[in-house]
Amino acid sequence: MSADPRHPHVRGMGMASARSRARLVERLRALGIDDERVLDAINRVPRHEFVDEAMTSRAYDDTALPIGYGQTISQPYIVGEMTRLLIGEGVPEQVLEIGTGSGYQAAVLAEIVPTVYSVERVEPLYEQARRRFARLGYRNIRVRLAREDVLGLPDYGPFEAILVTAGAESLPTGLLEQLAEGGRMIVPVGASGDQRLIVVRRENDTFVRETLDAVSFVPLIHESQDVR
């Protein structure tokens, strides 16, 4: 798959990075990530650009890594699985991501989805991600600093797909209301140590949920009180 002319990204730091990404892709394929669109996107994104310099030697390990402020860059397998679930029924025109963090998940999505909106509450992480997206040429990512006491981007919705990269104790109704008819949301739900990945589909103004594997995410910061 050739580079999309909408976002001609910087492609890593030489052959060592390319080989490391290729090995990571093969590990993810062996673990069951079988959507070639997702694997190609992960192969295209230079994960070492999204971690602290001291962590670059571990950038292509299949593990979460700290990025400061109590946050992490997600494990590549989880990034791949959530992306696979999000696009499995068709690629949406735009996605809302809750929790930009380092920006890695948004970058993987941006390799597939025409427009990604991403919201971050930690201002230093927002600033870092904004500069990183600009430097790497991700012109189809719109990153926003979260507004106080507002979850998501209600003024920009409804969205065909929403992906939440932090653990909510309950399904946030504020995000459900931003989901378009026929849309889907991927969200980790549950108390710390007991989270499950949930897929929610909006069908005829009702919400159908499917519970999947156990996961472990940092808590959703300043979670809206409007939950169910």
pLDDT at residue number 4: 46
Element (H, E) at 66: strand 65-68
pLDDT at residue number 156: 92
pLDDT at residue number 27: 96
Indicate whether 163 pLDDT > 90.
yes
Indicate whether 130 pLDDT > 80.
yes
Q: Is 197 inside a domain boundary?
A: yes
Q: Are 109 and 162 in contact (CB under 8 A)?
A: no
Q: Are 184 and 201 in contact (CB under 8 A)?
A: yes
As a whole number of angstroms, the distance between CA 219 and CA 221 comes to 6
Tokens of residue 3, six digits? 């580079």
Tokens 């849309």 map to which residue? 183
* Tens of pLDDT, residues 37-92: 999 999 999 999 999 988 999 999 999 999 999 899 999 999 999 999 999 889 99
- Residue 146, number of CB atoms within 10 A of its CB: 20
Q: Is 174 inside a domain boundary?
A: yes
pTM confidence score:
0.88
Q: Is 43 inside a domain boundary?
A: yes
**Could you confirm whether 74 is annotated as catalytic?**
yes
- Report the number of distinct structural domains present in the chain: 1
Q: How confident is the model at residue 15 (pLDDT cuts 50, 70, 90)?
A: low
Q: Is 227 inside a domain boundary?
A: no
166: which residues sit within 8 A by CB, 6+ positions away? 98, 99, 188, 217, 218, 219, 220, 221
Tokens of residue 59, six digits? 């950038």
Q: Are 103 and 50 in contact (CB under 8 A)?
A: yes
Q: Are 85 and 62 in contact (CB under 8 A)?
A: no
Return the SS3 of 117. strand
As a whole number of angstroms, the distance between CA 36 and CA 39 comes to 5
CATH number of the domain encompassing residue 196: 3.40.50.150
Q: Is 138 inside a domain boundary?
A: yes
pLDDT at residue number 1: 35
pLDDT at residue number 16: 67
Element (H, E) at 16: helix 15-30
* Average pLDDT of the residues in 115-130: 96
Indicate whether 7 pLDDT > 80.
no
Q: Is 6 inside a domain boundary?
A: no
The single residue of 17, 20, 74, 118 carrying the catalytic annotation is 74
Q: Are 164 and 221 in contact (CB under 8 A)?
A: no
* Tens of pLDDT, residues 142-159: 999 998 778 899 999 899
pLDDT at residue number 169: 85
* Residue ranges making up the domain that contains 174: 15-215
